[in-house]
Every structure is written in structure tokens, then in C-alpha cells.
């Protein structure tokens, strides 16, 4: 029997990357007077690096650091300040309604809560941002999420399985009673590395990634009349994991 669903945030709860985080980074760069502009193709390349702070560091390492970033301490401070500004910007976009929940997410959450299934989130996103995303569910649903593991809660980010190992510690359930919903290969590798069954809902930037290890792949969970995944389907996938 399915007892827990663990959601990634970006690309799963909300399709945030292209019109959310990318926009937030660009606005933060302008705010700090930095001549950087991440277009859609470049951001797709940068998404191979998990974590926003890590993504900016990889970009500056390749394309050059802004003036004044001549020591590691100054680089660290710049990354920290940029990321804080970007998080405030993207959280604001969510609050303004610019980044709605993906189709089927509210439905599957309601099905889970009606059946006493525990809900959790494992994301590299900043806790402030995921808090804004969870506000989209309304206060009653939000309050019933059992845990949120976000940001730098673990030292090694996806595709390392550390964050899903932490989720297993929080749940104290066998793997076949849980299922992860992810949208990226990095997320899939992290969940599978922790031995958890995983459903993929592809998102804007991940539709062409390799998901051969996934238990199932769909474009979205879907709402009526185009429902792709029900709570019963998730339970069957988890049970198949036990049989395997």
C-alpha cells in the first residue's frame, strides 16, 4: 500500500525553470549591474548543474567573474547575495500567479490526503521559494505536508541521493510504500540511487532527457478529462518495485 509521495519542486509542482528561475537570475544580474543574460538555450545547458548557487559559479567560472570578485571570499559573497535577490524575485513571481501549479498536482495531492498518504518535498530550491510554491495549495493543504527538505539541507545535491536518503530517514517506511515524482535525469538518478520507485513528469527543459531507469514517464499528471496518473497508479508502481 502506498503511504508516501515525495515531490521534487521545480518542474514537478510548478514548471519554474524557463519563466521563473531564469527570469529571476537575469533580473538579479541587472540589479547588481552584472552584464550577464541567460537566454533559453544557455539556461538549458546550465541546468545540468544542480543548484542555483552552483549554477552561477559554473557560469562565472566559464565566462568570467564580475569586476571585484578577485578572491574566493568575494566570490562566495557575490554568489550568496545574488542568490538571495534571485530567490526573492522568483518567490514574488509565484505570489503574483505567474507560475501556477502543473496540471494534476492539486488533484493528486487531494487524492493522497483523502487516503492519509504522507506528502513530502525534496528540492535543491531555496526554502523561501518552496514555501511560496506550497502557498499555492492553500493553507490547509500546505499544513499537511509532512516534511520539506530544501536548499542546502544536504551537502551534496542531486544527482547524489543524499536528499532522498534524508527523506527515507524522515519517513521510516520501506521503499515500496513510497514513490518519488521527479522531472529531470539528475532527480531520477538521485531517487533511484536511494532505492526509491520514481515517476517522471517531463517539463519544459527535460522532455528529451534519458529516463530509461524510471518506473514510468508521462508528460504531466493531468486533470480530467485528460488524467494520466491516479493515486492508484502510483500505488501500483510502488508495488511493482517491491516485486522486482
Q: Which residues participate in catalysis according to the annotation?
A: 8, 10
CA–CA separation, 134 vs 113, rounded Å? 15
Closest-CA residue to 191 (of 210, 164, 173): 164
Amino acid at each position: 500500500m502506498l503511504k508516501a509521495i515525495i515531490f521534487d519542486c521545480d518542474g514537478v509542482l510548478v514548471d519554474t525553470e524557463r519563466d521563473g528561475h531564469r527570469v529571476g537570475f537575469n533580473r538579479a544580474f541587472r540589479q547588481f549591474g552584472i552584464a550577464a543574460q541567460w537566454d533559453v538555450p544557455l539556461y538549458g545547458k546550465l541546468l545540468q548543474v544542480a543548484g542555483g548557487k552552483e549554477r552561477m559559479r559554473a557560469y562565472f567560472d566559464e565566462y568570467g567573474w564580475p569586476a571585484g570578485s578577485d578572491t574566493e571570499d568575494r566570490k562566495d559573497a557575490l554568489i550568496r547575495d545574488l542568490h538571495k535577490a534571485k530567490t526573492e524575485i522568483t518567490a514574488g513571481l509565484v505570489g503574483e500567479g505567474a507560475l501556477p501549479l502543473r496540471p494534476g498536482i492539486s488533484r493528486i495531492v487531494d487524492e493522497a490526503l483523502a487516503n492519509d498518504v504522507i506528502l513530502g518535498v525534496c528540492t535543491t530550491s531555496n526554502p523561501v521559494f518552496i514555501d511560496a510554491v506550497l502557498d499555492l495549495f492553500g493553507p490547509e493543504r500546505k499544513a499537511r505536508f509532512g516534511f520539506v527538505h530544501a536548499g542546502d539541507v544536504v551537502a551534496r545535491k542531486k544527482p547524489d541521493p543524499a536528499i532522498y536518503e534524508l527523506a527515507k530517514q524522515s519517513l521510516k517506511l520501506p521503499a515500496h510504500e513510497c514513490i518519488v515524482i521527479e522531472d529531470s535525469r539528475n532527480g531520477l538518478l538521485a531517487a533511484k540511487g536511494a532505492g526509491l520507485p520514481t515517476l517522471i513528469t517531463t517539463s519544459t527543459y527535460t522532455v528529451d532527457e534519458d529516463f530509461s531507469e524510471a518506473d514510468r514517464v508521462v508528460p504531466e499528471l493531468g486533470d480530467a478529462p485528460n488524467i494520466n496518473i491516479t493515486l492508484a497508479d502510483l500505488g501500483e508502481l510502488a508495488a511493482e518495485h517491491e516485486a522486482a
